[in-house]
Chains A and B, each alone.
Chain A
Amino acid sequence: MMPMEVSTLTTVAFWAAAAMTLGFATIVVTQRDVFRAAIALAGSFLGVGILYFVLSAEFVGVVQILVYVGAISVLMAFAVMFIQDIASGSRPVQGRVIGATVAVLIFAALAFTAYNTNWSLMDEITDPVAVAALTEGYIEIGTGDGVRVATEVPPGSNDVVVENDGVLVDSTSAVGVLLVREYLLAFEIIGLLLVAALIGGLLLMREPSGANEPEPEKEVASV
């Protein structure tokens, strides 16, 4: 039994999004004009976002579009405009051929591993309740530690029943539950990390203290 058959339309959308991602990514690493590279980077991020939607990861796709296309691309554009002599372009370095060779070797090793590993697949799941829980939906019966999982309510049961959609079909709510139950500590630490990055960025961007004030005095003294 194969949960979530892949339709032809999905495959076409997958390859279209993959072509968009890789095409724009190639422009990013070959374009001399840094501003054009920044625009191509936004296109590449958008392609990755579409890929997530095709892979039925709607929440990750929305996060991708908000964070990468919305925030990081704008940050890149600001950086390009802030730095004046960027117009001279991003010249490639001398060891470009070595870099290309290394990149091709990395790709070859990863692709070889991907095609030569015997991945366990979804159709190895034998439990029919587990298959239904992934694609169609499941119900949780009872509360606390005594929660049981089933596909339909047993007759004559008075327990509390929570109905859920299949986690691969409606992934957003299940990801929300994962973030505040199993991964709560990591979730809090990521918030702390972002605050630390924010403060660190502000500290690095600040004008060095005393760099502005003493200089006018010196000029006055010399005049």
Chain B
Amino acid sequence: MTIENVLLVSAALFAIGAYGVVSRRSLVTVIMSLELMFNGVVIAAVGFSRFTPSAALLSSDPLTAEAIRSALTGHVFAIFVTAVAAGEAALAFALVFAMYRATASVEITDASEMKN
């Protein structure tokens, strides 16, 4: 397990999600694939936090508690991305339901006209 392996898994999950976003017709599956892409990005952030040192730890300045904690910036990034993804999922499904009520369809080809 090295940083390269973690990034490989992250890239694979991101690519699978990207394929799902462009190849599925149902909006629900498209949103599922979007969540997969979010997860791929977060895996990379946590992997960097685990394997690569922050700049503050490599510098020759006297060591501070802030510099030590900066090793975990990737974890904080992961938590923020998770929160944004949760809000995005809730809003996306509200939009899908609104579209379903208006057109009785959740297929992405029927979403080309979003008037009224």
Contacts and interface: CB of A to CB of B under 8 A. Distances in A.
B111 interface: no
Interface residues of A, number: 100
Contacts of B93: 75, 79, 201
Contact of B53 (A38, A93, A125, A179): A125
Q: A71, A85, A110 — which one has the most chain B CB atoms within 10 A of its CB?
A: A110
Nearest to A11: B1
B contact residues, range: 35 or more
B39 A193 contact: no
B1 A25 contact: no
A95 B39 CA distance: 25
A90 B28 contact: yes
A220 interface: no
Contacts of A121: 3, 51-53
A129 B65 CA distance: 11
A194 B43 CA distance: 22
A82 B97 contact: yes
Contact of B6 (A55, A79, A140): A55
A67 B32 contact: no
Contacts of A86: 26, 28, 106
Contacts, number: 288
B58 to A, nearest CB: 6
A75 B34 CA distance: 14
Given A103-B15, A110-B7, A204-B94, A91 B26 contact: yes
Given A44-B36, A190-B83, A205 B97 contact: yes
Interface in A45-98: 45, 48, 51-52, 54-57, 59-60, 63-64, 67-68, 71-72, 75-76, 79-80, 82-83, 85-86, 89-93, 95-96, 98
Interface of B: 1-20, 22-26, 28-29, 31-33, 35-36, 39, 42-43, 46-47, 49-53, 57-58, 62-76, 78-80, 82-91, 93-98, 100, 104-109
Interface of A: 6, 10-11, 14-15, 18, 21-22, 25-26, 28-29, 34, 37-38, 41, 44-45, 48, 51-52, 54-57, 59-60, 63-64, 67-68, 71-72, 75-76, 79-80, 82-83, 85-86, 89-93, 95-96, 98-100, 102-104, 106-107, 110-111, 113-115, 119-122, 124-125, 127, 129-130, 133-134, 138, 140, 147-149, 167-168, 171, 174-175, 177-179, 181-183, 186, 190, 193-194, 196-198, 200-202, 204-205
